[in-house]
Structure 1
Amino acid sequence: MGKNSTTSSVDNPIPKTSSRCLTKYATSTHDFEVIRFSLLEGMGAGKFVSSSTFTVGGYGWNIMMYPDGWSEEHKDAYMSAFLCFCSGTTGVKVKFTLSLLQKDGKVSNLKKRATHTFQSVGGYWGWSTFVEKPKLQELLSRNDDCFTIRCVLTILKEPRTEDVSTAIVPVPKSNLHKHFASMLKDGDGMDVTFSVGDQLFNAHRCVLAARSSVFKAELFGQMKETTIKCIKIDDMEPAIFEALLHFIYTDSLPRSSELDQNGALQHLLVAADRYGLDRLKAISEVKLCQRIDVQTVATTLALAEQHNSVQLKHACLGYLSSLDVLRVVKETDGFKHLTASCPSIIMDILDKVAAPSGV
């Protein structure tokens, strides 16, 4: 009798090849702040105001907002909003979201999404019924007649397919920052202690010295105290020093809602400047620029002047360039502090207000 034999797949392996589809993209966000919206109402259906032109993926865009609606059909019932294609190669496909932000920067539930291919420069796409006027008035009543339109825009490139070689070795992402974060959390090898307020913080001298020239001079310079066990830090909140240490070890800020507050960001900028952490100072500047409003602009401007934060100062002066805004700001306690602590800045404000449009 014959004997059946089973041939295993190990003896005859099945050939295998792979390919993958890649779609490159570029994403960016632009915020268009609208102050005193009620003054824009009544300009008429079909009339619009637009944001400045912003660039995403090499293409120019702006946001068009119609306070009284895109047409007579929508007058008094809706505010209309559109994304306009200003410059670049035609035929660009995009995904975008337009949403309204509240005064505190939180995204409201008033937002819409779309995907569109722009075939001509000057073309626009969006919603004639972007938001109903009653819902908009409710938002305005809670936010001092102001809101921000946020556009999150993604440029989609043409997809392409490529072969995947089985010889490719996947390279793990860098996790250096995680190891340093563990060093800070676990406490192994720590050799210096800081007293900040009513809290103690332990750290590694070498890490601090490598990241900050100020710490290097304090811990290893000629004037260092070789026997010192605890260094006292004055004029700083424990939460700010904790965030400072986290940044020194990980090059990033800890996830904390408190650090998104204007006051905490101001203190963080001061701490970064004090210890020569230029990247942290710049990050704080960027976040403060995004949070300028009537109540905070004066104190933020004073801070920018005292710590030589040029871009932050420029942003504050730009916000104050309107006489209507300046009249309101002058009534705040922050403006009184500004005039007392930085009297020379008043001339800069007056020069900005008096400058011709576009300067």
Structure 2
Amino acid sequence: MYDFAVMGEWLEFAVRWLHVITAIAWIGSSFYFIALDLGLHRDRNLASGADGEEWQVHGGGFYHVQKYLVAPAEMPDHLVWFKWESYATWLSGFAMLWLVYYMGAEFYLIDPAVMDLAIWQAIAISLASLAFGWVVYDLLCKSKFGDDNTRLMVLLYIILVVMAWGYTEVFSGRAALLHLGAFTGTIMSANVFFIIMPNQRIVVADLKAGRKPDPKYGKIAKQRSTHNNYLTLPVIFLMLSNHYPLAFASEYNWVIASLVFLMGVTIRHYFNTVHARKGNPTWTWIVTLVLFILVAWLSTAPKFQREEAALSGGALKFAQAEGFSDVHDIVLGRCSMCHAEEPSYEGVLWAPKGVKFETEAQVARMARAIYIQAGVTHAMPPANLSYIEEEERAKIVAWYRAAVGS
């Protein structure tokens, strides 16, 4: 029998792995070049005409790196372009968004107690918001307002705060923070695709044609690269947040997200300053710690207390499937001591990943996860602490497969 749930789980794992790999490559090269550019010695009269240089040691070898403000007098035969890391990160991230939040919209994207949306409506809002973010950001950067980068970044922060609040008014808490990360990541990758790379191609084409490149293209690319530098760390936090209900299931989750962007600025400011040899601003770590403590405090604020919405669609199918009553009793007896509003298991202070199994609706909505975690595999309960029996696991498998008709 071809088990689509198992294959889907492996597909998600493969795409998530790809996303992490490409993100490491993109972030790694980005941080390296930011550090390299800030650390260049520009007080030397270089015979090559380069703007600055730096000697580095790594892996048993020495590297002599020089940067040309626009380009060297003659184009080298081969140029290494750093672009696919960004593109692959966004494409794999979008694939994850589709696999988890679009194909599982009823379970992960939509919360009827927040906004009772049809699946197509939720997906349309998601896609439109990503496009909206890039269009607004790009127009602001190209406007007169964008000539002052500090002023521009303050406005961009305000927009991010508004989007953080807006997402929590439309999607589930988990999906809201994830979407804010996707919103920001889309801007970052679009900067590379639509601005940084085209500007570099213009400079290369001018040099090959014997024309003197216009420095404005480098200046524009530098602005977008700086924005990406400060946005990277918050995006990582937001992408990880869906694993931690303390981040997404608080009444103040949008405030938490807003503060995370400030922590991204303080952390990057420290490293940028050190790399530029302009001091050691340890105060940034004090500010970061204060912000993190505030985030932790906000995370324990009252959780969303909403009335359970009526089941519909896929969840209703699982609730009506043969064997659901038995499975509900099994899950209630073997899992709800941890997966509850107030867990009774010693040492467990909140429901892992925000998943609760106290009502029939909650069990039905998490049917696929229950099937994978406790039916097909023995991942749950951890170390089988609640002594779930093989016969009970078999009932979970039979119930799920009866519901999906396989």
TM-score where L is the length of structure 1: 0.25
Q: Whose radius of gyration is greater, 1 or 2?
A: 1
TM-score where L is the length of structure 2: 0.23
Specify which structure has the higher proportion of strand.
Answer: 1
Higher RCO (CA-CA < 8 Å; seq separation 6+): 2
Specify which structure has the higher proportion of helix.
Answer: 2
